[in-house]
Amino acid sequence: MSQRLAERGVTLTCPDFNRPDFTSLTITRMLEQLEQELAGVEQATLIGSSLGGMLAVLAASRFSKQIEKLVLLAPAVMFAKEGHHLLPPDRVAEWRRRGALPFFHYAYGEERLLNVEFYEDSLNYHPFETRFRQSALIFQGALDQAVDPRSVELFARDRPNVTLRMLDDDHQLVKSLSQMWNEMEPFLALGA
């Protein structure tokens, strides 16, 4: 994606939300880091995948003057909600009891410890209920086992500013990269 955007004269900036470390990551910290990244920026488009998609939704509401559009890939809009299939009660209880648990980190390709403060902090945010005015294009895999496609469909249903593209793909959406680019290009008004 970075290469294709660069070919159109657009620079893709990817903030490192693992700073200073993954273990102490929280939604609040990520929003603060994103606010710093947006300082001095007049208009930006946020592209977020999974947890990053959830973060983009929250940021669109908070920093609405600076964010023009959203492209969301399998956004975890139901994250930290009671009954969410990725956080069953017994796992949350173990997390609270131990203080930290290992979670697979896709960027590092291995499990990394994450403090329970991440979960506790996430309960302060409600991405599913968050409203934003910007146009958003969502790509969701119908075969996604990490983010329930039904929750994304519900999220998009009553938001006229959101276009949902359900794809025959899984959470990583790797099979759909060309299709996503073909729809992103006009959405972002990049032209050839």
pLDDT of residue 179: 96
Residues 31-50, mean pLDDT to the nearest whole number: 95
Say if residue 92 is exposed, middle or buried (CB neighbours under 10 Å; 0-12, 13-18, 19+): middle
Inter-CA distances, 164 with 58, 71, 72, 186, Å: 18, 10, 9, 15
**Closest to 112 (Cα-Cα) out of 100, 99, 98, 96:** 100
Mean pLDDT of the chain: 93
Architecture of domain 2-80+127-187: 3-Layer(aba) Sandwich (3.40)
pTM: 0.93
Please write the tens of the pLDDT for every residue from 82-139.
Answer: 666 567 889 899 999 999 999 988 778 899 999 999 999 999 999 999 999 999 999 9
Q: Are 140 and 147 in contact (CB under 8 A)?
A: yes
Residue 176 pLDDT more than 90? yes
Bridge partners (DSSP) listed for residue 47: 71
pLDDT of residue 191: 73
Backbone phi, psi, residue 41, to 5°: -90, 130
Residues 163-191, mean pLDDT to the nearest whole number: 95
pLDDT of residue 70: 98
Strands (E), the chain: 44-49, 67-73, 100-105, 110-115, 135-141, 162-167
**Closest to 27 (Cα-Cα) out of 104, 85, 101, 79:** 79
pLDDT of residue 108: 86
pLDDT of residue 85: 57
Residues 46-61, mean pLDDT to the nearest whole number: 96
Where helices occur in 72-163 by DSSP H, the ranges are: 89-98, 117-122, 149-157
pLDDT of residue 169: 97
